Amino acid sequence: MHLSPRFELSGLVFDIPTMIMTVVTSLVVLLLLVGLTRKLTVGAPSGGQNFLEWVVDFVSGIAQNFMDTKTASRFITLGFTLLLYIFIGNQLGLLFNVNTSHHGQVSQSFLDSLALSGTPEATEHKKEEILKELADDEGHGAVVVWWKSPTATPSVTFALALMVLLYSQYLEIVKHGLGTYLKHFLNPIHLLEEIIIKPLTLPLRLFGNIFAGEVLISFLLSTGIFVGSLPLVVWLGYSFFVGSVQAYIFTTLTMVYISQKVNDHH
């Protein structure tokens, strides 16, 4: 069982490691961009500027696959930000994997924070499971995750997807008017796509791949260096590839969804 300490505020439950890692990812992206853009030039660009220009061209190419050049240029900044944020967020859990294993007794306040859930019933049920893990001397105990990819948490991926989907709906209203926008929802297939399919598939694909990768990494680390070293190296390489692909897929689908709302033939 992989746990995270949480706290409740105004009826909402906040995951502390997720909050920390969301801020860390944002800071890494900010510092990376500040470092790459400090010495921009129109002459012979540095390696950092070359990399930055390559990423911008890459995102531009994705957008232009679904929109004309003028329209695509409006969304390059959004695509660039998403690609960089998700890519770095996906890799943070690979670079470091900070977990603590707990056996026996823990403080009541710490136990309460680990078991905190949306309802009192769920909290009590989770607390019972944690106590069983703590009492299991032969297992790994209750494993608390302190450092992980923010995209390994569904609340983060759903928030990213919600931002993209709400923005695409806004673009459709601006482009085609509120009346035309509402008429589309008379079509059951369109309603199913916009209300259920897109809001579920976009975030769950990203979350599922990153979360599964980090769980396996934690397992391999727990097996010991001699047993898990080779599989760990192989899986780290594969996870890096998967994290990169998932950032690309999320950015591509963002451009697809936006193009469906802003293209004239919509």
**Residue pLDDT, tens place only, 3-15:** 889 998 888 889 9
- Cα–Cα dist 130/3, whole Å: 9
How confident is the model at residue 16, as a pLDDT? 92
pLDDT band of 59, cuts 50, 70, 90: very high
235 or 71, higher pLDDT: 71
> Mean of the pLDDT values across residues 39-49?
76
Q: What is the pTM (predicted TM-score) of this model?
A: 0.86
- Cα–Cα dist 178/173, whole Å: 5
pLDDT band of 240, cuts 50, 70, 90: confident
How confident is the model at residue 227, as a pLDDT? 47
What is the β-pairing status of strands 2-3 and 6-9? unpaired
Residue 5 DSSP one-character state: -
Residue 186 DSSP one-character state: T
How confident is the model at residue 224, as a pLDDT? 56
- Cα–Cα dist 261/193, whole Å: 13
185 or 34, higher pLDDT: 34
Average pLDDT of the chain to the nearest whole number: 86
Name the nearest CA neighbour of 141 among 115, 116, 106, 107.
106
> Mean of the pLDDT values across residues 147-168?
93
Q: Out of 126-130, 142-146, 247-251, which region has the weakest mean confidence (pLDDT)?
A: 142-146
